[in-house]
Chains A and B, each alone.
Chain A
Amino acid sequence: MAVVNKKASSYAFKIFAYAFCILLTVLSLFPFVIMIVNATRNTAEIQSHAVSFIPGHNFRTNWNILMGRGFNPLDGFKNSLIVSVGSTACNIYFSTMTAFALVAYDWKLRKPFFTVIMAVLMIPAQVTSIGFYSLMYKIGWVNSFLPLILPSIAAPTTVFFMRQYMIPSLPMEILQSARIDGAGEFRIFNQIVLPMMKPAMATQAIFSFVTSWNQLFMPQILITRPELRTMPMMVSLLNGDAYKTEYGSVYLGLLLTVVPILIAYFLLSKYIIEGVALGGVKG
């Protein structure tokens, strides 16, 4: 599908494009390199030069401090995974469903409903959090993962995205032909609509997973039992005392926290990279 370009300008364009992309790549990878390097250095080294590319020799010490301070990667990983997978699944599945309701059906309250969703999206979250955790304390949902997972069922941002994505790309005649074949609406949604939304779902799944994995405020307010701590809670524990922070271990902890997200991200990124996936879908 090549369009013939003038060679020289194409060359110049490529040089510029690559240079620009490489610059952005360096900027993007920089914090990860720092994290890895700092995970091998000791507190004093980090305090005097937080940004350095020369690894230290303190990896083992940092690891031991990390493990000695109640950082239990297996428990933390398990808890974070339950919360993040649970909330991502809820977020993606129900948001797509809601968007489907908004796009595919003509119902009276459709427009007001969409307006409400958008209005909710715009409320500053800092203060409404008081109401949320007060309620959770009232109904006794403390030390439970449910208040960290279930709110994702109503995720206005994702619904909005799914709706925007669906409007131009969901062909209604498919739904009709499926109906002619005798498929129920629920089945149509699960077996036809969901697969078609793959790139959009992958995109939002990444965002949702990252947000959920990194959340700290609500878990810290709602979870008090050590065995239920998530990874970011454990890292933040290392940070507890500003005067005596073990920075090397903090970076190591951060690194351990980031690795699972990176893996999840790389797994899902397939859908971002491969545009063809969409075209190839068949019901």
Chain B
Amino acid sequence: MKKALSVISAIALLASSVAATGCSKKEEATTKDGKTIINLWTFTDEVPGMVKKFMATHPDFAAKYEVKETIIPTTDGNYQPALNKALQAGGKDAPDFYCAEAAFVLKYTQGDMSSYAAPYKDLGIDVDNEIKAADIAKYSVDIGTNPNGDVVGLGYQATGGAFIYRRSVAKAAFGSDDPATVSAKIGGGSGSWDKFFEAAEELKKKGYGIVSGDGDIWHAVENSSEKGWIVDDKLYIDPKREEFLDLSKKLKDNNYHNDTEDWQDAWFADMKGEGDKEVLGFFGPAWLINYTIAKNCGSWVDTGEKDENGEAIQELDTSIGTWGDWAVCEPPIGFFWGGTWLIANKDSTKKEAVGQIIDWITLDCTKDGLQYMWANGTLNGEGGTKDSVASGTVMAMSDGSLDFLGGQNMFDVFVPANQYANGKNLTQHDEKINQKWRGQVRQYTAGNKSREDAIKDFKQEVADELDIH
């Protein structure tokens, strides 16, 4: 034990000496070879990956600057406290530019933290003209505009949503898998759910569900409302959002869905067609197709062989799973879901340089810009994941056809979808309030409480935790 103790104390000494060297001394914000450091704060490696590409394609810039990224995931709830602290503390370690996700972007563009956001025009970006030239989706600009009317944040994706459906189910139930037919059946663009429920009844008779769970229609419902959760600092339940109680109840009582919860096992099972009953489809943006449904379609099988690295080779086997059995069409109500906005710190001393990166990511609509590569899946070479981007100009010259969608060009649907999306009914507390609302709706649909009680308890919860009455 004595020996062990001496070892421990030796290590402890070592530890504290190492820790001491890690202590932040007064360094210049430059690297050893004289490059100026730009700090980027974000929550995934997505934007850092883009910055890498930017550096590779802009050697002059890369010779002068180095971007240091701090990545803190949002999933543990630590990104915002850390970012807020770093912005407040300022100094050379403060972020020069940072990312915000749809769920909390309003806090940084219009809400409590918006005072730190620098207008894009101060970064040397000719923002109004460039937005016009790139044809950026309006909702994205609305969200990124601060209370003074200056654009302080823009994204690279456009996350306008569509209805993503199974061709085989459509054919069996409606006799056709054509997007126009399916869209007509579910009331695409009608702004009402009436047709949708007629279609649900029709599907039910043939033994199908229309969606996987009530979460699937929530994003569309949320976006269809006139006003957001908070009006004049008071809680406001928009009639369209209140109606979600009835819609959800109707889906459940009539057995129109598999009663799954989004992001849970059963929800993914429906993407493979392995749920209780097969369902027609999901509501979502392009990223939901590429990152979620395509990966969970059940058509990937192990070949039993391994490549030179010893990695199992997976093969597409379209005889199983749902690969190629999908298509997209216009949803009954326009909506958007997710997205990342880039914001520059007003206290940054390298605004010009930060502006160049932000411009390349959010507004450059040439083939050398980020968005063209992102839309066509060529950022890291051919064959990457295609995604819908913010610039309509880029979308128009890109090809969104996917084998997964049976060759359909998804951009035909997503370009208009991005225009229908509405950024006016958001508040900075949506994430929290939505969670409470959906919780109470679930209680009501499960038959655990009355409609009135669900609304009453919802109001109580919001008042108690957010002090919004």
A interface list, Cβ under 8 A from B: 42-44, 47-50, 56-58, 60-61, 64, 69-70, 82-83, 85-86, 88-90, 93, 133-134, 137, 140-146, 149, 191, 194-195, 198, 216-217, 220-221, 224-226, 228, 236-237, 239-244
Enumerate 10 A-B pairs (CB-CB under 8 Å) in ascending A order. A47-B296, A60-B310, A83-B15, A85-B12, A86-B16, A143-B22, A145-B15, A239-B73, A241-B46, A244-B291
Q: Do the beta carbons of B295 and A44 come within 8 Å of each other?
A: yes
Chain B: interface residue total (CB-CB under 8 A): 59
Proximity bits, B277-318, A CB within 8 Å = 1, else 0: 000000000011001100110101010001001111010000
CB distance from B359 to the nearest CB of A (A): 24
CB distance from A226 to the nearest CB of B (A): 8
A212 to B192, CA, bound (A): 54
Give me 7 other A-B pairs in contact (C-beta within 8 A), A221-B85, A240-B71, A242-B75 excluded. Answer: A86-B15, A217-B78, A241-B44, A241-B46, A243-B287, A243-B288, A244-B291
Complex contacts, A140 vs chain B, CB 8 Å = 23-24
Contact of A44 among B15, B70, B268 (CB under 8 A): B268
Q: Do the beta carbons of B73 and A195 come within 8 Å of each other?
A: no
Q: Do the beta carbons of B23 and A141 come within 8 Å of each other?
A: yes
Binds A, one of B2-10, B221-229, B240-248, B391-399: B2-10
Q: Counting chain B CB atoms within 10 Å of each CB, which of A47, A50, A149 scores highest? A: A47
Query: Known contacts A70-B45, A221-B81, A236-B73; is A149 also within 8 Å of B287 by CB?
Result: no
Q: Do the beta carbons of A86 and B22 come within 8 Å of each other?
A: no
Contact of A243 among B86, B296, B338 (CB under 8 A): B338
Q: Do the beta carbons of A82 and B18 come within 8 Å of each other?
A: yes
A50 to B291, CA, bound (A): 18
Contact of B311 among A48, A61, A86, A216 (CB under 8 A): A61
A109 to B18, CA, bound (A): 36
A144 to B5, CA, bound (A): 25
Proximity bits, B77-99, A CB within 8 Å = 1, else 0: 01001100110010001000000
Q: Do the beta carbons of B265 and A49 come within 8 Å of each other?
A: yes
Query: Known contacts A85-B15, A93-B9; is A146 also within 8 Å of B82 by CB?
Result: no
Taking the complex as formed, is B269 at the interface, i.e. its CB lies under 8 A from any CB of chain A? yes
Q: Do the beta carbons of B75 and A146 come within 8 Å of each other?
A: no
CB distance from A205 to the nearest CB of B (A): 9
A61 to B44, CA, bound (A): 20
Query: Known contacts A85-B11, A137-B85, A239-B73; is A50 also within 8 Å of B265 by CB?
Result: yes
Q: Counting chain B CB atoms within 10 Å of each CB, which of A90, A134, A242 scores highest? A: A242
Q: Do the beta carbons of A144 and B82 come within 8 Å of each other?
A: no
Taking the complex as formed, is B434 at the interface, i.e. its CB lies under 8 A from any CB of chain A? no
Q: Do the beta carbons of A236 and B302 come within 8 Å of each other?
A: no
A194 to B298, CA, bound (A): 59
Q: Do the beta carbons of A221 and B23 come within 8 Å of each other?
A: no
Taking the complex as formed, is B60 at the interface, i.e. its CB lies under 8 A from any CB of chain A? no
Contact of A145 among B19, B44, B288, B314 (CB under 8 A): B19
The interface residues of chain B, by DSSP majority, are classed as: mixed
Q: Do the beta carbons of B19 and A146 come within 8 Å of each other?
A: yes
Complex contacts, B71 vs chain A, CB 8 Å = 70, 226, 237, 240
Q: Give the 9 A-B CB pairs with smallest separation, nearest first.
A: A145-B19, A57-B312, A240-B73, A86-B15, A89-B12, A220-B78, A60-B311, A224-B70, A144-B23
Complex contacts, B288 vs chain A, CB 8 Å = 243
Q: Do the beta carbons of A146 and B74 come within 8 Å of each other?
A: no
Complex contacts, B272 vs chain A, CB 8 Å = 48
Q: Do the beta carbons of A240 and B74 come within 8 Å of each other?
A: yes
Contacts of B335-388 to chain A: CB distance below 8 A: 338
Complex contacts, B85 vs chain A, CB 8 Å = 133-134, 137, 221
A149 to B1, CA, bound (A): 22
Q: Do the beta carbons of B24 and A143 come within 8 Å of each other?
A: yes
A195 to B312, CA, bound (A): 52
A86 to B263, CA, bound (A): 39
A85 to B10, CA, bound (A): 10
Taking the complex as formed, is B464 at the interface, i.e. its CB lies under 8 A from any CB of chain A? no
CB distance from A234 to the nearest CB of B (A): 10
For residue A205, which residue of chain B has the nearest CB? B8
For residue B290, which residue of chain A has the nearest CB? A244
For residue A48, which residue of chain B has the nearest CB? B268
For residue B314, which residue of chain A has the nearest CB? A42
Complex contacts, A243 vs chain B, CB 8 Å = 287-288, 291-292, 338
Q: Counting chain B CB atoms within 10 Å of each CB, which of A146, A220, A226 scores highest? A: A220
Taking the complex as formed, is B67 at the interface, i.e. its CB lies under 8 A from any CB of chain A? no
CB distance from A196 to the nearest CB of B (A): 10
Taking the complex as formed, is B72 at the interface, i.e. its CB lies under 8 A from any CB of chain A? yes
Q: Do the beta carbons of B75 and A239 come within 8 Å of each other?
A: yes
Complex contacts, B23 vs chain A, CB 8 Å = 140-141, 143-144, 146
Q: Do the beta carbons of A236 and B76 come within 8 Å of each other?
A: yes
Taking the complex as formed, is B43 at the interface, i.e. its CB lies under 8 A from any CB of chain A? yes
Q: Do the beta carbons of A216 and B12 come within 8 Å of each other?
A: no
Q: Do the beta carbons of B82 and A221 come within 8 Å of each other?
A: yes
Q: Do the beta carbons of B45 and A69 come within 8 Å of each other?
A: yes
For residue A145, which residue of chain B has the nearest CB? B19
Complex contacts, B268 vs chain A, CB 8 Å = 44, 47-48
For residue A281, which residue of chain B has the nearest CB? B1
Contact of A85 among B8, B41, B43 (CB under 8 A): B8
A248 to B302, CA, bound (A): 15
Query: Known contacts A43-B295, A93-B9; is A48 also within 8 Å of B45 by CB?
Result: no
Q: Do the beta carbons of B19 and A221 come within 8 Å of each other?
A: no
Q: Counting chain A CB atoms within 10 Å of each CB, which of B22, B71, B82, B89 scores highest? A: B22
CB distance from B321 to the nearest CB of A (A): 10
